[in-house]
Amino acid sequence: TYVVTENCIRCKYMDCVNVCPVDCFYEGENMLVIHPDECIDCGVCEPECPAEAIVPDSDPAASDWINLNERYAALWPNISVAKPPPTDAAAMDGVPDKRSLYLS
Ligand code: SF4
Ligand code: F3S
């Protein structure tokens, strides 16, 4: 499965949503997550994310985020059509430690 990681937080560019063939993204206030049981591992979303926030679960960068994607995919609503990103998305791109600031 693929995993959404820290740099999605407050960037939320949404490009991933429109390319996923199985609509397995789920939307929180500040980021999206991927449902691990629904992702078919196609990899299409990975290069589409301008924040480079999507990685395969085999990537070391995914390790802190696998459980979080699974947990919130069960709680947050599905999103199948992209909305506009936050107006400050570009300013938030690459800001360190967004998880502790914006995701409890
Ligand atoms: Fe969707 Fe494919 Fe990305 Fe999985 S890897 S979230 S199926 S686009
Ligand atoms: Fe987030 Fe990248 Fe999608 S910033 S909303 S994972 S395009």
pLDDT tens string 35-68: 999 999 999 999 999 999 999 999 999 999 999 9
Residue 13 lies in a domain: yes
Which residues, other chains included, contact 36 with Cβ-Cβ below 8 Å and sequence gap of 6+?
A: 1, 3, 57, 66, 69, 70, 73
Q: Is 51 in the pocket of ligand 2 (CB under 6 A)?
A: yes
Asked if residue 77 belongs to a domain, the reply is yes
Q: What are the structure tokens assigned to 6, written together? A: 């820290």
Question: According to the model, what pLDDT value does residue 103 have?
Answer: 85
Residue-number span of the structural domain to which 59 is assigned: 2-81
Region 67-92: what's the mean pLDDT?
97
- Tell me the whole-structure pTM to 2 decimals: 0.97
CATH of residue 60's domain is 3.30.70.20
Look-up: residue for tokens 């991927």?
Answer: 34
What mean pLDDT is predicted for residues 87-94?
A: 97
Could you report the predicted ipTM of this complex, rounded to two decimals?
Answer: 0.98
Interval between CA 38 and ligand 1 midpoint (Å): 8
